[in-house]
């Protein structure tokens, strides 16, 4: 789930154009100057906050058009198509990451992600306390994010050693999730959700650490990585809450 187009400009880079990934210095009119990681972090946080707007809009559109019905009629193909659409839109974001168009691609990606929240939000709507659980999952996701951001910013430790382990964990999680599409085992679903919360919380720490230490200077890719972690944490927490504390009418 968590991978160069460069616009031609007359000797000056647009203020909206992100710095190419991994580039430690930004050139402007022939003069190299250091990139402020505070600037990258600030831009990432702003873009992450703005990306929540198309996500909410996508969820609203999905609810209005009863997008969850497609998942009921095609419980196997619909999730696979969803996975493919997310990967395709993520690929476009990655291709345009060094262009101002990358911001629009990111917003389109988060809109699509919002649409795909419809199935679990529809399930939550069927519970008497579904609205409270959605809010609780959102609040818990925010707490995890701020906790990981505090650790990465205050300690300034290098967590790059986690990269290989997290990637292996992600592959195993994807395989288990795809397998459960066919088996539909509730206990496995809860286990996958619990592991996902831990894995993507660690990914938050890993990605935030890279931004703070200068390992990631492209705030479009930084925002995309953080968004994906938050998105998966929210869904996983909501799934756990619905299964254990959901109250049906």
Question: CB–CB of 16/109 below 8 Å?
Answer: no
DSSP H helical ranges for 101-162: 101-115, 118-125, 130-155
What is the predicted pLDDT for the residue at 2?
43
Cα 67 to Cα 55, 74, 99, 124: the distances in Å are 15, 11, 32, 14
**pLDDT tens digit string along 41-73?**
889 999 999 999 999 999 999 888 888 888 788
For the whole model, what pTM was predicted? 0.83
Low-confidence ranges of the chain (pLDDT < 70): 1-36, 249
Q: Supply the pLDDT for residue 21.
A: 52
Q: What is the largest CA-CA distance in the chain?
A: 66
Determine phi and psi for 34, rounding to 5 degrees: -65, 145
């Amino acid at each position: 789930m968590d991978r160069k187009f460069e616009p031609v400009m007359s000797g000056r880079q647009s203020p909206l154009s992100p710095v190419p990934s991994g580039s430690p210095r930004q050139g402007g009119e022939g003069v190299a100057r250091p990139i402020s990681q505070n600037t990258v972090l600030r831009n990432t946080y702003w873009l992450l906050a703005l990306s929540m707007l198309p996500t909410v809009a996508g969820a609203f559109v999905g609810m209005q058009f009863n997008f969850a019905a497609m998942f009921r009629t095609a419980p196997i193909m619909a999730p696979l198509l969803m996975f493919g659409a997310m990967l395709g839109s993520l690929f476009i974001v990655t291709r345009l990451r060094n262009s101002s168009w990358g911001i629009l691609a990111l917003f389109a990606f988060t809109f699509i992600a919002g649409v795909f929240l419809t199935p679990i939000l529809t399930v939550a709507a069927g519970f008497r306390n579904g609205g409270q659980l959605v809010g609780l999952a959102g609040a818990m996701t925010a707490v995890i994010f701020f906790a990981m951001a505090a650790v990465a910013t205050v300690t300034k430790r290098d967590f790059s050693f986690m990269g290989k382990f997290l990637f292996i964990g992600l592959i195993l999680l994807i395989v288990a999730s795809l397998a459960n599409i066919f088996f539909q085992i509730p206990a496995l679903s809860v286990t996958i959700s619990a592991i996902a919360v831990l894995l993507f919380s660690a990914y938050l720490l890993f990605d935030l650490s890279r931004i703070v230490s200068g390992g990631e200077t492209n705030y479009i890719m930084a925002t995309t990585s953080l968004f994906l972690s938050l998105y998966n944490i929210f869904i996983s927490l909501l799934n756990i809450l619905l299964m254990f504390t959901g109250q049906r009418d």
